[in-house]
Amino acid sequence: MSKRIKYTNEPLGNVKVVPDFLPAPEDLIFREEGVKVTIALSKRSVDFFKREAQKHHTQYQRMIRRLLDAYAAHHMRSLTRRPTRTRGERQAKV
């Protein structure tokens, strides 16, 4: 980049202003409060996550945590969209 850029005062043409789509700085903080738990997983599952984590240069526990977070987020969203029914209404539908 030894060549200098020469700027001119020419019209830019058809310019479109787009709304700000970048997240706020506080939304970029990915770390949430953690809770330590003890859970027994199958050896097969742990081996799978360890292999995948090694392939993607990450930690297997982080992968499991993200999987659980995604599962919980999906189901929390679906619960808020469902109309609430009583237990009797659910049983009558079956």
Round to whole Å and give the CA distance between 48 and 72: 21
Q: What is the pLDDT of residue 50?
A: 96
Contact status, residue 49 vs residue 64, Cβ threshold 8 Å: yes
More confident residue, 76 or 30: 76
Whether this model's pTM surpasses 0.85: no
Q: Is the pLDDT of residue 11 over 90?
A: no
Round to whole Å and give the CA distance between 5 and 55. 43
Chain centre distance of CA 84: 27
E-only strand ranges, 1-94: none
Burial state string for 20-53 with b = 16 or more CB within 10 A and e = fewer than 16: eeeeeeeeeeeeeeeeeeeeeeeeeeeeebeeeb
